[in-house]
Structure 1
């Protein structure tokens, strides 16, 4: 597959304008920015990125991208980054535990466990995905986000991403992009939930700053689902000269939450608040502490921009699981550097833009596992030193062929190494052999990309591209989180064909993409059955045959009051439809079965009225026609569901706002997440269903001064 040329498919196949829109895409956001009267000039910065600047950069990409402004999700009680992406087609995010989402873009990491693969996540252009190949989504506080850039699949080449899911760049507020002053936000609601946040920012011209602290406490919807989280983030920028800027970012967080675990199908629907007694007795939980310092510096010359970044992160994890697995105790230190050079030159009267970059990260992790004795650490059962290195070299040329046509060419080179060295291990049973789970494996590969972008007007774009993908496994995949011996896996490879359009016309905005990914060695997660129907551990394998990921990502925004004389408000209907067709391709065991873990069709809609800047009210709906298959044998499929929600807010004055939301109004009982197994009908493991959250209500107030 990797030898196929990426030049296959460069032909425009969209002959007519679509009336379809990506609600968290560029279409409707470009439309809104066109309608806004700019009252304040954006303060100059080489690093701090405004919403409008992000949108203009995203419009240069010949492929599926998304844009999410903080205003799109702050009206709801948003606990995690997955909650921020609800209105982004192609993205499926469900809840596997309180404060923890499983995020899949175009079928990436279909059922990865707490440590997620398949996505490259960055904050302000600096990677926070780990050198070991996984991402801790808890490292992001939604209240410290200005906006989010979503690059689906190989469209994330701008940041060196070649994974199936692509890249997500979290852009945070700064003193250059946020109004100077302090904001206090307090929220409360169901399940004894309370969240408070304070943020402040300022700008003296040469120096600007932003800082925020958020505290979240909740008993959770289910028994044994308590959350205790404290998150702090800040950045300070220094303008060293008109063409030189540097910015330091700091993160400190403590995120502790109990694990209610999965249930049988009947229990998940009949008594969703319950948890298994063993989860309580063993005090199963996940406690993560992260301390991170990073820097990004930009030097802007006449024709070239030079960027450099460096980061250091210390993570500690205390993760109590079943007695079979034990209590995982890890301490990891990671550092990384990156540099990027970009510029432009003129050819035949047109501007040609280019980017060359390199990212390098490496980590050392002391991974210990202790016996779990009623929630307390018992004897040390294993001790491993885990080292990981990840180097990515990438380049891209954006060539303007004419006034309306752009050709984008790119390549990506990945060089990764994963090493697990056994320091200590107890025998699996008294008198048995001591199993050495040491192992080391390296990966490297070139990937290419070619895309064509046609812009007949400022408001309409069409695109087509062919991209190769390459994704080494994470060290968690190779060791099953430390529960199993080191198992060598092949890298996941893919080639993706994509076509689509985005833009807006009068009262309608759209963003649409259709794609097909042909995948080799796809990572398949299989929950191993334990005693009495419980799960012992989730194991990652390579699919024996090829797999196919194909789908349609559609969004439509319609301004229902557009053009009405004397209209004092705005009534916007937002529609998002994601169609997932993920399946095996003549697999020797599973034939052409559907891949388990993600539902086929997800439709999300919102009808919202904004009365100027005074008040707003919205009704939203999430419809899943049929739930995900639980097993790769396709013997059981979770039922579909439909959830309704309400949001409302009132700006009392220019500095005070009250807001609230009601979620799952009908209190529908549904399956939020499943742990995938090989064949549910033949295995003893039946507790693989996570119930969704019932009816809940939240209210908040914010003060700015």
Structure 2
């Protein structure tokens, strides 16, 4: 490569198999192939510093599924059979031009296409085959101001498109191939990142106006949820991360040990925007506030110890009608690690040390019944250990 040019390439392949006897006996095979390429060119245009990034992604997937009557955990008569295919590819171009020494203009464009198809092989109940193609163009424009060599302020206006998945288009609760639209969003963001002394930070506020957001609804009132397009929704909030070295040389002057407070906070205000059925209700399933923190003591020998906290001070709704909420909770943990000079790192971590009973996530419903099976419990007291080796 020429000076100022960097090329990144990557690829992956995943094969998964599932044999599961639940309401029916399910036999599934999935193969996914993905690849990406990214070229970065740094130089000058008309005497102004410029950085150009061009990239592309490719993804292919096949999904072979069969369902049988569940005869005591063994497959019985075939009830459904299909072969599904998904293809997604995109090309992205982003340019950063320093119109002033400390001010850069960022502009970009993403072009993409996604194809989804399902071929029904069990035709005794009719042919449920179908296919859909989604094409999109997503522009981006923004400004980046380098207030100091170590601190930046940024703002962006960007468009995004998310096509439905095969699972969205071929739900078990309905027959046929769904006519879902792709989810589209326009997001404006402003924030700052940087460091000063022992302080590192990143804070951003955003507002995304979304059309045709893919959500799970129950259009028939039978309790069978289907992926459908909502009308208009809003996702807005704040994401913040802060790392602060509170103390150095705790043991004695010149020791080199330190005490660091690391924090992450998110405020999530996700709601309908004048929906005919739900007005401006909050979207279910996401906590409005989430705070994580750790206070880490680190010794230059490579030993570290950190008590941890995960706090959800306010439960989240589990239905679109906003009638039922989960409970708030706080989880305490402790993590210890040892980093050796040969590149080996060993860690042990205890989570939820007080064995708190809490709801970590939930399914969603239009209106939650008192006995609805929506809540999914979080893990109780648990211990994890592992190692890493760096070459």
Fold equivalence (TM over 0.5): yes
Paired position in structure 1 for 2:102: 404
- Superposition pairs for residues 155-166 of structure 1, below 5 Å? none
Work out the CA distance in 2 between the residues paired with 1:551 and 1:354. Answer: 30
How do residues 297-336 of structure 1 correspond to structure 2 at under 5 angstroms?
300-302=1-3, 304-305=5-6, 313=13, 315-320=15-20, 322-323=22-23, 326-335=24-33
Q: Is the 8 A contact 2:21 2:74 kept in 1?
A: no
- In the aligned structure 1, how far is the partner of 2:388 from the partner of 2:37? 39
CA distance in 2, matches of 1:406, 1:610: 38
- For residue 168 of structure 2, give the secondary structure of its aligned residue in structure 1: helix
Cα gap change, 1:575 to 1:702, in 2 (>3 Å): closer
Distance 1:502 1:668 in 2: 35
Which residue pairs with 1:35 in the alignment? none
| Partner residue in 2 for 1:639 | 327
Match for residue 622 of structure 1 among 310, 315, 319: 310
Determine the structure 2 residue equivalent to 1:358: 56
Q: How many angstroms does 1:522 deviate by?
A: 0.5
Q: What is the match of residue 541 of structure 1?
A: 228
Q: 2:165 aligns with which of 471, 474, 479?
A: 474
1:372 matched residue in structure 2: 70
Match of 1:505 among 188, 196, 217: 196
TM-score (ref. length: structure 1): 0.51
Comparing 377-386 with 646-655, which one deviates more in the overlay?
Answer: 646-655
Matching of residue 451 in structure 1 with residue 152 in structure 2: no
Give the Cα–Cα distance (whole angstroms) in 1 for the partners of residues 115 and 383 of structure 2. Answer: 47
Contact 1:314/1:331 (8 A) holds in 2? no
Displacement of 1:435 after TM fit? 3.5
Partners of 1:645 and 1:314 in 2: how far apart?
A: 33
Verify the 8 A CA contact 1:454 1:461 in the aligned structure 2: yes
1:589-600 equivalence runs, <5 A: 589-600=277-288
Q: 1:561-600, aligned counterparts within 5 Å?
A: 561-562=247-248, 565-600=253-288
Of the candidates 404, 415, 423, which is equivalent to residue 113 of structure 2?
Answer: 415
Higher strand share: 2
* Ranges in structure 1 where 5+ consecutive residues have no aligned partner: 1-299, 427-433
Quote how far apart the aligned CAs of 1:525 are: 2.0
TM-superposition CA deviations, 1:20-40 (whole Å, max 9, x none): xxxxxxxxxxxxxxxxxxxxx
Instruction: Provide the rounded CA distance (Å) in 2 between the counterparts of 1:649 and 1:393.
Output: 41
Secondary structure of the residue aligned to 1:617 is strand
Alpha-carbon distance in structure 1 between the residues aligned to 2:204 and 2:304: 31
Relative contact order (alpha carbons < 8 A, sep ≥ 6): 1 or 2 greater?
Answer: 1
Shift of 1:417: 1.3
Instruction: Show the 5 A alignment for 1:125-164.
Output: none
Using the alignment, how far apart are the partners of 1:646 and 1:305 within structure 2? 40
SS at 2:184's partner residue? strand
Change (3 A) 1:606 1:334: closer
Residues of 2 paired with 1:505 and 1:496: CA distance?
A: 29
Deviations 1:545-576 (A, max 9, x none): 20000001112211111488435411001121
| Equivalent residue number for residue 557 of structure 1 | 243
Tell me by how many angstroms 1:586 deviates.
0.4
Residue 685 of structure 1 and its aligned partner are, at CA, apart by 6.5
Show the 5 A alignment for 1:109-120.
none
Aligned to 1:392: 90
TM-score, length-scaled by structure 2: 0.90
Q: Take 1:481 and 1:319, find their aligned partners in 2: how far apart are those partners?
A: 17
Q: Is the 8 A contact 2:248 2:256 kept in 1?
A: no
- Tell me if the contact between 2:174 and 2:226 (Cα under 8 Å) persists in the aligned partners: no
Q: Residue 696 in 1 paired to residue 382 in 2? A: yes
Once residues 117 and 387 of structure 2 are traced to their aligned partners in structure 1, the CA distance between those partners, rounded to angstroms, is 49
5+ residue gaps, structure 2, are none
Q: Distance in 2 between matches of 1:655 and 1:462?
A: 36
| Count of residue correspondences | 389
Once the two structures are TM-superposed, the CA of residue 489 in structure 1 deviates from its matched residue by: 0.3
Map of 2:353 onto structure 1: 665
Alpha-carbon RMSD: 2.9
Distance 2:30 2:88 in 1: 15
